[in-house]
Amino acid sequence: MAVKVAIVGGGVAGLTAALTLGNLGLDVIIFEAKSAFISGPPFCHLHAGGNLYREISDSQCTTLLRQSIDFAKLYPFSIDKRPTIFATPIYDPHEPLDLLDRLEILKQEYKELIQKDNTNKVLGEADNYYEIFSKEELLLLAKKEPLKNPQNSSDWMIPFAKNLDFNRIKFPIILIQEYGINLFRVAANGGLALENMPNVKILRDTKVIDVNKSESSYIVEYCGRESSKVEVDYLINAAGFKTGVIDDILGVEEIRLVEFKAAYTSIWEDRCDVWPEVIFHGIRGTNRGMGQFTPYCSGVVQLHAMTPDITLFSDGLVSSKGSSSYPKLDKKFIDIIDNGWDIELRDSRTKKAVEYLSNFFPKFKSAKVASKPLFGAQQIPGNDPTLRVAEVSFPLDRYARCEIVKVSSVNDMTSAIVKDIKKEFSLEFKEEIFNIDNLNLLDEDSITKRAKDIAKRLNYPEILGERCRKL
Ligand SMILES: Cc1cc2nc3c(=O)[nH]c(=O)nc-3n(C[C@H](O)[C@H](O)[C@H](O)COP(=O)(O)OP(=O)(O)OC[C@H]3O[C@@H](n4cnc5c(N)ncnc54)[C@H](O)[C@@H]3O)c2cc1C
């Protein structure tokens, strides 16, 4: 008889666990409290080297690189193949080339990953992992016309160079092969594949309300579209920022942080279609935090600015306290998560985000609010808010607790879960887990159609379901 597994939560962690275990032939039931998969915090950036985060260790960066390559191989239809430009504002205390030693380590690491397995070559040639552009080169590129189909790094720099206020930035500028991830396409790709697995039961709009552990099983009680109880052999807690709620029910004590953040959607009518992503480095939490300009198709741009009045919130980071493992966000954040945004707050924060980025791209001032923000709360295990790599832990027998901080960690997370299930139930699986066949059988058009439907259903512009460039 197949091992029966319950998964609480259908974010990227729960969805990927369901796909992996379903693919291995286990009897899986996945509960998602909301109506769609991946309704929690958003994601848009494949952190293939962690270069957004100057404060993290080189080892976190190399892990993020390897994990990002695995993620791109697992969800190839979700990757938007456009590089990221890293610029350092003149007011920033760091210099652009402070990143250089780390970039060389990452380039070498990428070379070794390709030598081990040529299918790892998803970020182009290792020698082109990063490229450096001087002010003089950019001034020349600023005179060229942007291209609909950029072929090389210089082509990608053209829209940036044409729009940049050269007085606001230190030189040189660095272009790195860190791509975009489209969350609507991950939801579409994963959802379509999961629906094709007869051994996986999907319960959307259904919340797990209680869990009881016995000697050899867990009884999971749920309510929503269906209300009942189910007995399972193995429990996966993939409840995102509510992971601590299930821990508390099971009496497992843990220290963790939860942070509420938001990214804003704007529409910039003047924008030519194909842009790279652009990062303006900064010190997180100050009024000069990192700015992130993330292009989607047809002039839609998603914006982050790591300042307290744009992406961050002054009381948006909370820690677990006492014997509870569930850090409690202020009610105003829970209201936003459960009931949506107040229009005034949405508009004022989106306008501040547009103003922030137009310090560097003056013409961007004309951008307008496109929709409600992409937002949510995420957990960070432990008490270090700068942690960017975490996967899963096993605090009880037959209980896996997902703890990803970046979505690229899901393959390592599922590998560890599969290993634990093998050990617990003395199983041998024939297949290795990364090739989830059903994921790659799908085609671009059906994924795009489903991704646009999801975006529309969640009240975002449906164009967010499209990607500008295939992997
Ligand atoms: C603004 C912002 C930007 C980000 N950008 C990036 C990025 O560019 N790249 C990146 O890699 N990461 C990014 N992240 C982090 C990323 O969003 C998270 O790491 C990731 O989405 C977490 O996925 P998860 O599946 O663990 O949790 P979630 O996505 O939170 O999924 C948990 C799910 O469980 C469900 N659930 C909870 N309790 C129950 C219950 N009792 N019963 C049933 N269902 C339940 C919830 O409804 C939810 O859908 C960003 C985070 C934020 C906030």
Amino acid at 64: L
> Which domain covers residue 225, as residue numbers?
4-41+184-253+384-465
Residues 366 and 394 in one domain: no
Quote the tokens at residue 301.
Answer: 């741009």
160 found inside a domain: yes
Q: What is the CATH number of the domain that holds 30?
A: 3.50.50.60
pLDDT at position 274 is 87
- Residue 43: partners with Cβ closer than 8 Å, 6 or more residues away: 12, 181, 183, 406, 407
**Residue 59 burial (C-beta neighbours within 10 Å; 0-12, 13-18, 19+):** exposed
> How much distance in Å is there from the Cα of 285 to the middle of ligand 1?
21
State whether 36 and 167 are in the same domain: no
> How much is the pLDDT for 225?
85
Structure confidence at residue 339 (pLDDT): 95
Is pLDDT at 1 greater than 80 in this prediction? Answer: no
Mean predicted confidence (pLDDT) in 201-218: 97
Q: Are residues 303 and 364 in the same domain?
A: yes
pLDDT for 265: 98
Question: What's the pTM?
Answer: 0.97
Three-state secondary structure call for residue 50 = coil
Q: For residue 11, how far is its CA from the centre of ligand 1 (angstroms)?
A: 5
Same domain, 236 and 358: no
Q: Which of 310, 341, 406 to mutate to test the pocket of ligand 1 (most atoms within 8 A of CB)?
A: 406
- Measuring from atom 20 of ligand 1, which residue has the nearest CA? 407
Pick the atom of ligand 1 nearest to 31's CA: 43
Q: Is the CB of 451 under 6 A from ligand 1?
A: no
What's the rounded Cα separation, in Å, for the pair 413 and 390?
Answer: 8
281 shares its domain with 376: yes
61 lines ligand 1 (CB under 6 A): no
Model confidence at 442, pLDDT cuts 50, 70, 90, reads confident
- What is the mean predicted confidence (pLDDT) over 385-391? 93
- Residues 377 and 391 occupy one common structural domain: no
| pLDDT at position 430 | 64
Q: What is the pLDDT of residues 226-243, one digit of tens each?
A: 899 999 999 999 999 999
Above 70 in pLDDT, residue 435?
no
Residue 346 and residue 270: Cα distance in Å, rounded? 22
Residue 152 included in any domain? yes
Determine whether the shortest distance from the Cβ of 42 to ligand 1 is under 6 A: yes
The answer to whether residue 118 scores a pLDDT higher than 70 is yes
166 and 133, same domain (yes or no): yes
pLDDT digits (tens, 9 = 90+) for 145-202: 999 899 999 999 999 999 999 999 999 999 999 999 999 999 999 999 999 999 999 9
93 C-alpha to ligand 1 centroid (Å): 32
Q: Tell me if 405 sits within 8 A of 390, measured CB to CB.
A: yes
pLDDT in tens, 67-99: 999 999 999 999 999 999 999 999 999 999 999
Please identify, among 381, 404, 438, the residue that sits at the C-terminal boundary of a domain: 381
Q: Indicate which residue's Cα is closest to atom 4 of ligand 1.
A: 43
Q: How far is the CA of 183 from the centre of ligand 1 (A)?
A: 11
Same domain as 334, residue 312: yes
| 134 found inside a domain | yes
360 & 260 share domain: yes
CA-9 nearest atom, ligand 1: 34
pLDDT, one tens digit per residue, over 301-350 is 999 999 999 999 999 999 999 999 999 999 999 999 999 999 999 999 99
45 pocket-lining for ligand 1 (C-beta < 6 Å): yes
User: Is the beta carbon of 242 within 6 A of some atom in ligand 1?
Assistant: yes
pLDDT band with cut points at 50, 70 and 90 for residue 434? low
Domain count for the chain = 2
How far, in Å, CA of 127 to CA of 157, rounded?
Answer: 18
Give yes or no for residue 404 CB within 6 A of ligand 1.
yes
| Gyration radius of the chain's alpha carbons | 22
Same domain, 260 and 375: yes
Same domain, 206 and 242: yes
Q: Are 181 and 43 contacting, i.e. CB atoms less than 8 angstroms apart?
A: yes
State how far the Cα of 40 lies from the Cα of 407, in Å rounded to an integer.
Answer: 12
**Residue nearest atom 30 in ligand 1 by C-alpha distance:** 240
25 within some domain: yes
Tell whether 268 and 121 lie within a shared domain: yes
* Residue 62 belongs to some domain of the structure: no
| Residue 269 belongs to a domain | yes
**Cβ atoms of residues 157 and 121 within 8 Å:** no
Mean pLDDT of 420-441: 75
Average pLDDT over every residue of 261-268? 98
Asked whether residue 47 is assigned to any structural domain, the reply reads no
Does pLDDT of 440 surpass 90? no
Last residue of a domain, one of 364, 381, 398: 381
pLDDT at 144: 96
CA 70–ligand 1 middle distance (angstroms): 19
Q: Is 33 in the pocket of ligand 1 (CB under 6 A)?
A: yes
Q: Which of 245, 407, 412, 458 has the most ligand 1 atoms within 8 A of CB, as the residue to mutate? A: 407
Q: Which of 328, 360, 381 lies at the terminal end of a domain, its last residue?
A: 381
Q: Is 239 in the pocket of ligand 1 (CB under 6 A)?
A: yes
- Is residue 471 a part of any domain in this protein? no
Mean pLDDT of the chain: 95
> What average pLDDT does this structure show over 108-125?
97
Please say if the pLDDT value at position 433 is more than 70. Answer: no
Indicate which CATH number applies to the domain containing 113. 3.30.9.10
Among candidate residues 320, 345, 183, the one with its CA nearest the CA of residue 241:
320
Nearest partner of 279 among 87, 62, 56, judged by Cα: 87
Residue 83 beta carbon below 6 angstroms from any ligand 1 atom: no
